[in-house]
Amino acid sequence: MELPFHAGEMRRDVNHGKEVEAAEPSSSSSPPQTGNRPSFNVFLSFRGEDTRKGFTGHLYNALRQHGISTFIDSEELERGERIEDLFSYIEGSQIFVPVLSKGYTNSRWCLREITKMVECGRLILPIFFDVDPTHVRNQSGPFEAAFQRHAGNNRVGEEDLRRWKDALRAVGEIRGHCLQNDTNG
Instruction: Indicate which residues carry an active-site annotation.
Output: 113
CA 89/CA 39 separation, integer angstroms: 7
Q: DSSP string covering 29-72, please?
A: SPPPEETTEE-EEEEEEE-HHHHTTTHHHHHHHHHHHTT--EE-
Residue 4 is classified by DSSP as: S
Cα separation values, 136 from 64, 91, 171, 176, Å: 28, 23, 8, 12
Cα separation values, 156 from 20, 36, 63, 75, 169, Å: 39, 31, 35, 28, 19
Length of the chain: 185
CA 170/CA 114 separation, integer angstroms: 10
